Amino acid sequence: MKIALTADVHLTTRAKNPERYNALENICEQSVARNVEHLIIAGDLFDQETGNYSEFESLCGAYSKLQFHIIPGNHDPGISSKNVTGKNIRVYTHPIFQEVGSARFLLVPYEEGKSMGEGVASVRNMIGGEPWILIGHGDFYGGVTHPNPLEPGTYMPLSKSDLERLEPQTVFLGHIHVPHDPVSNVHYVGSPSGLDITETGRRSFLCYDTSNGTHERVGVETDVLYFQETFFVIPSDDELETLKGQIAAQIAGWDIETADYPKVQVRVGVQGYTKDRGALLQTLEEGFSDFSYYEDQGPNMANLSFSDNDQLEVIANRTLELIEELDWAWRDGREPEKEQVKLAALSVIYQD
């Protein structure tokens, strides 16, 4: 049997954010097409609590063959069977084991001020010796994570020592909106629709096979695709051609079809030094002419300065070569990034 998993949908109303409902419906459609009978939502199904969840209930009613399992997150800790109803909807307000197919899932709702380990502790006597899968909503403190810029701080953390002590077979988490796998058996589902320009690229949901314990990421058809691109420029006779090549390479890296171009909203920035600000702006506008700018913001050139000093250009190029030769693998995230070092060096050379 296969089940689908998503998280961080952040539903509001269809009128305000139709793209979020459409993304969830696309997951439902693909799940039904794959003969999936269960969809688990690992927290933050809603953006905030409200007194009327009828739009979501209607959506669920349209997919009667699909069972919806909702784990409350930090944005919707108050949802329960009292305020969200439906024959195929179940809300889990307390940690509980749920068997689906041949797999045992422990569903742990978000509780403010508690760790994930404390949530599991309340039902630890039920774990037994059988393999089990943890699904919750919070931060994993055992590997490199992608912080959620919309929510600084710590939310129901799961530690590496928790994993070693409790020994879940697999962990699926909501809260961090970037889909990634910090360690081999811990997986962030990711949000199915970008909430703003900081959540870039294609979105996905997970499809888990209970028969063999494997999972795959399945792309979600979304109404909007966000991308952010920043380019670093140094003065040279071929700087515009170089920039054109960089733009083409970045767009190719988005891995989208031409049919998706109308969905794209992009934020573009450029920093460094140029011999012709006007020509460079035109190159940027031409390079991204097939796409819409996020909130109608054109290319940001606030960090781009003018210089036509050929001698300084030679010094700058050699300096940048030396910076590239440095070993950047030692960084632990607290030191400046390479592009920041380059910009600081150029500021000294050009005496900005």
Q: Does domain 2-220 have CATH number 3.60.21.10?
A: yes
Q: What is the pLDDT of residue 148?
A: 61
Average pLDDT over residues 60-82: 95
Question: Which strand (E) or helix (H) includes residue 60?
Answer: helix 54-61
The residue among 209, 173, 166, 207 whose CA lies nearest residue 191 is: 173
CA distances from 157 to 73, 120, 154, 326 (A): 13, 12, 7, 35
How far apart CA 348 and CA 350 sit, in angstroms, is 6
CA-based torsion, 287, 291, 297, 303: positive or negative:
negative
pLDDT tens by residue, 257-311: 999 999 999 999 998 889 899 999 999 999 999 999 999 999 999 989 888 777 8
Question: What's the pLDDT score for residue 146?
Answer: 59
Which tens digit of pLDDT belongs to each residue from 137-171?
Answer: 999 986 445 566 656 667 899 999 999 989 999 99
Tell me which of 41-45, 104-108, 304-308 is least confident: 304-308
User: Which one is predicted more confidently, 217 or 348?
Assistant: 217
Determine the pLDDT at residue 308: 79
Average pLDDT over all residues of the chain = 90
CA distance 172 to 185: 8
Quick: pLDDT tens for 218-253.
Answer: 999 999 999 999 998 888 888 999 999 999 999 999
Report whether pLDDT(16) > 90.
Answer: yes
What whole-number distance in Å separates Cα of residue 208 and Cα of residue 239?
48
Look at residue 144 in the predicted model and tell me its pLDDT: 44
Domain range summary for the chain, segments of one domain joined by +: 2-220, 225-350
Q: What angle (nearest 5°) sits at the alpha carbon of residue 289, between those of residues 287 and 292?
A: 120
Report which of residues 92 and 307 the model is more confident about: 92
- With bands split at pLDDT 50, 70 and 90, how would you rate the model's confidence at 331? low
Beta bridge partners of residue 334, listed in sequence order: none
Q: Is the predicted pLDDT of residue 332 greater than 80, yes or no?
A: no
The pLDDT of residue 153 is 63
**Is 24 a residue whose pLDDT tops 90?**
yes
